[in-house]
Structure 1
């Protein structure tokens, strides 16, 4: 619940520090005293958009702060945990600062957040209901959510069973639709892939083939140069007159002749011997190369054609042979997948039809469960309307089947209402404004308050346009809501003010040529005088005071029950 509200330099409020308690609190005072400003401050603290014009004239900033005691609301606590806001002690402090430069600072338990985050948290904290309020209860898209919430765990279980089948049905339907709608594209793609697969398969490129071909072509193109150089090398090694092998043999022999005179000569002879035997081996290898060297013009032509094919494929499928081979693997994989789709389509359609039968049964089961809950909801709301003295009013839940299936079921649900006998049921969103609309919204709020888990509910003159017995009925309903959620009500009705568990009087005064709003928590005597003023105006008569005391006595008896 809301425990504390601090407002500084906001509109005509210089500073107020309000302490709230559980139950029902009313704020009363003359028109223009600043009651709605307090509600505006609460709105700003729960995600409402602000403007620098809201800052008190002559001030640099406005400061708003609220302290909430949090209930065990799993959704709210999970959201606070997700944004890193600590709430170990169950307390949430919201701080918002508005500056004349247009900047706004928002903190949740000291953690800086943006406006969107504040609004996400604020929806669980305060629900502001006014005479022309068009929030959740008037939003057609929310009616099914409210109905399901009212149904409790049993309905949620039936809904979960439907949604599980729906997820399977939607997945297979999307798969079938994807295959069917892209059939032409798939055929064209298949033709292209098959052409590419055949072209690459026929080419049969090997990983290092291009490098080997380039080397072979280089030899054929430089055949004469290679032959000449090999011949010269052979002559240099094995020439008849001064070949390198013979010269090395002579040098080795000469050094061996003197090796006995100095070990160094022996080492030189050994080194020369190594070179000699190596030269002999090289000479034999050169001879083999000369013998193997041939020139084949047909082979050169074949190599050129093969390289041309490889270069063509590289231009089409990748800059290198490795890229071409990688592309070929992808083509094979995609062809296999497309072929699988073609083979799978009939099996998918069989499974789709089977799931369609299952989901149809689950949708009917869900509809029947919701209709049972709707009957209970109708009875509850209609009882509330009767207790609010709306004779002839009727509330109904309207089901309209839709084509196909969506995640929420196979029906559109909308709340319908009749406010007067003979008018007929019409969508709730089209109800007229005024006291009847206010009572209808109050009946719905009484029914849904516990299920919605709102911490604090604010009624901003939601009782406008009623009086007498109806006013007493409205006061009773607000007290009923206050058993599950804290209620703050701005009211001009003495019956509502008398019924509240707490009463704040808002007054407007002038100090130092400036308008100042003051808020006073009233004791019992102050409450009686404030209610008497609501009955008779500023001049409190004895009769008005007696009536006020009587209203309070009746309220105290009600509280004691």
Structure 2
């Protein structure tokens, strides 16, 4: 519910802060006092478009803020979570700032959001029902959704079964269309992939193969240089004229002879000995390398040819052998899809026909269930109309079959109404009488309040054009809606004001040549006085007060 509303420097309102509660709240006051300005502020806080003319004259900016309690509203919670907006203590704080430069700042729980997201959330927070309202109930595109919501969980199960079948049917149908519209393109693609796959299979590349081949080629083309250097190294180590190993042996022997005389000589002898043994080991390794070193010209040719193939594949499919191998994996995966049975258009068409038959049966079942729900809805709304003293009115749900299937079924639904006997049924949006529209909207609001899950409903002079017993009936209906949704009513009818749980009086005064709007919450005495003014005008007599209290006692406890 709406718990708090703050308005600063908006139109003729300088600053007000209003606290609201559950149930039904009325706002009364003279025409032009600012009642509609409060509704305008709510509109902006729930996604309405703004302009700088709305800012109070002489002010740089206007500030609007509303605090809603969104307890148990999982839809809103999920939408906020998707935007990274946290909700603490079930409170949703909407802040909107209007600036003279035309820019608007919007925050929800401190997080900046755009107008589109605010409107998405706002549709579920507040529904403003006016005299010439053309919102959800008058929009025929919304009627099917409203009917399904009224049908409850049982209808939703049938609808889900249909929707699952529809999605399968749609997927197969789209696949068939894709194949039919791009058969040549897909055939060309298939040929290309098959060629690439075979080329890569024939190449039989191995990970890191190129590096190994480059190393082997380097040894072969530098065979003579490597052989000469190895032999020279061996001669340097083991020459007949005394190589490095013999010289190290001699040096080691000389130092060992004097090692006993000084620890430093002993350490030097040990170091020379380590070098001697290392040199011997190196000499043996070089002998082994020389014995293994061979030159195979045919092998060099094979390596060059293999490297040329690898370089050719790298130019086509990737900069390294590993990249080429990854490309092959992608080719294999795409070919697996194209070669799958789903590529067979004949099999797909058989599957499509089977799904079409099944879908047609589920669509018929959904339609039958909807028609049952429609009869219940008609009875409910017509009962509400009767209670609103529209005994000659009749509400009906009309079905129109459509060709093919949609995600919502195979029919359209539109609400029709006859407001007077003999006039014939007309689409809901065609009704003209203001008073009849008000009562019809109330009847529908009473019926759909729970299904729509709207937190707050505002009736902006929706009771215009009625009086007497009809006004009492409207008050009763507003109270009924207030049992499931918070209700606000801007009204000039004493009967509606008398039924409210809470009453705010809106008045304007002139202060220092400026018009200022004041909003006053009324206690029981104030409520009686305000209702008396609605009954008799500014001259409130004792009789008028007595009538107001009697009306309050009579209507105020209606349920």
Deviation at 1:130, TM superposition (A): 0.6
- Number of corresponding residues: 545
Preserved CA contact (<8 Å) 1:131 1:433:
no
**For residues 51-200 of structure 1, what are the structure 2 equivalents within 5 Å?**
51-68=51-68, 72-77=72-77, 83-87=85-89, 94=94, 96-100=96-100, 111-114=110-113, 116=115, 118-200=118-200
**For residues 485-500 of structure 1, what are the structure 2 equivalents within 5 Å?**
485-500=485-500
Name the structure 2 match of 1:339.
339
Deviation at 1:31, TM superposition (A): 1.7
- C-alpha distance in 2, partners of 1:250/1:143? 103
Name the structure 1 match of 2:240.
245
Secondary structure at 1:245 match in 2? coil
- C-alpha distance in 1, partners of 2:287/2:20? 110
Q: Deviations over 1:68-107 (max 9, x none)?
A: 555544434555666212016xx65555554556565666
Q: Deviations over 1:444-473 (max 9, x none)?
A: 112212332333321111122334443343
Change in 2 beyond 3 A, CA 1:462/1:317: same
Q: Deviations over 1:15-53 (max 9, x none)?
A: 444454444333222221111112223333434344443
Name the structure 2 match of 1:394.
394
Change in 2 beyond 3 A, CA 1:214/1:495: closer
Q: TM-score, normalised by structure 1?
A: 0.79
- C-alpha distance in 1, partners of 2:499/2:288? 122
- C-alpha distance in 2, partners of 1:511/1:74? 46
User: Which structure has the bigger radius of gyration?
Assistant: 1
Q: Comparing 183-192 with 470-479, which one deviates more in the overlay?
A: 470-479
- C-alpha distance in 2, partners of 1:310/1:155? 64
Name the structure 2 match of 1:378.
378
Name the structure 2 match of 1:48.
48
Change in 2 beyond 3 A, CA 1:420/1:318: same
Preserved CA contact (<8 Å) 1:245 1:276:
no
Preserved CA contact (<8 Å) 2:528 2:552:
no
Change in 2 beyond 3 A, CA 1:180/1:26: same
- C-alpha distance in 1, partners of 2:71/2:212? 78
Deviation at 1:275, TM superposition (A): 6.9
Q: Comparing 213-222 with 71-80, which one deviates more in the overlay?
A: 213-222
Preserved CA contact (<8 Å) 2:500 2:556:
no
Q: Deviations over 1:225-260 (max 9, x none)?
A: 789x5899699799xxxx9336559978x979x99x
**For residues 397-416 of structure 1, what are the structure 2 equivalents within 5 Å?**
397-416=397-416
Preserved CA contact (<8 Å) 2:98 2:105:
yes
- C-alpha distance in 2, partners of 1:76/1:271? 81
- C-alpha distance in 2, partners of 1:21/1:232? 102
Change in 2 beyond 3 A, CA 1:558/1:176: same
Secondary structure at 1:463 match in 2? coil
- C-alpha distance in 2, partners of 1:350/1:158? 25
Name the structure 2 match of 1:465.
465
Name the structure 2 match of 1:513.
513
Change in 2 beyond 3 A, CA 1:217/1:250: closer
- C-alpha distance in 2, partners of 1:122/1:269? 91
Deviation at 1:372, TM superposition (A): 0.8
Pick from 550, 554, 558 the counterpart of residue 553 of structure 1: 550
Deviation at 1:287, TM superposition (A): 7.9
**For residues 243-322 of structure 1, what are the structure 2 equivalents within 5 Å?**
244-245=239-240, 247=242, 262=257, 293=295, 305-322=305-322
Name the structure 1 match of 2:264.
none
Preserved CA contact (<8 Å) 2:435 2:464:
yes
- What runs of 5+ residues in structure 1 fail to find an aligned partner? none
Pairwise CA RMSD: 4.5
Q: Comparing 149-158 with 15-24, which one deviates more in the overlay?
A: 15-24
- C-alpha distance in 2, partners of 1:284/1:559? 112
- C-alpha distance in 1, partners of 2:349/2:53? 62
- C-alpha distance in 2, partners of 1:72/1:284? 83
Q: Deviations over 1:324-345 (max 9, x none)?
A: 3443344334333322246766
Deviation at 1:401, TM superposition (A): 2.6
Preserved CA contact (<8 Å) 1:179 1:341:
no
- C-alpha distance in 1, partners of 2:436/2:47? 29
Secondary structure at 2:340 match in 1? helix
- What runs of 5+ residues in structure 2 fail to find an aligned partner? 260-268
- C-alpha distance in 2, partners of 1:237/1:21? 104
- C-alpha distance in 1, partners of 2:245/2:160? 102
Q: Does 1:443 align with 2:443?
A: yes
Deviation at 1:395, TM superposition (A): 1.9
- C-alpha distance in 2, partners of 1:237/1:67? 94
Change in 2 beyond 3 A, CA 1:405/1:280: closer
Deviation at 1:377, TM superposition (A): 0.8
Secondary structure at 1:14 match in 2? strand
Name the structure 1 match of 2:11.
11
- C-alpha distance in 1, partners of 2:416/2:179? 43
Secondary structure at 1:244 match in 2? coil
Deviation at 1:398, TM superposition (A): 2.1
Preserved CA contact (<8 Å) 1:499 1:552:
no
Secondary structure at 2:134 match in 1? coil
Q: Deviations over 1:425-460 (max 9, x none)?
A: 333234336333222222211221233233332111
Q: TM-score, normalised by structure 2?
A: 0.79
Secondary structure at 1:85 match in 2? coil
Preserved CA contact (<8 Å) 2:499 2:557:
no
Name the structure 2 match of 1:362.
362
Change in 2 beyond 3 A, CA 1:200/1:274: closer
Change in 2 beyond 3 A, CA 1:299/1:21: closer
Deviation at 1:533, TM superposition (A): 4.4
Deviation at 1:190, TM superposition (A): 1.6
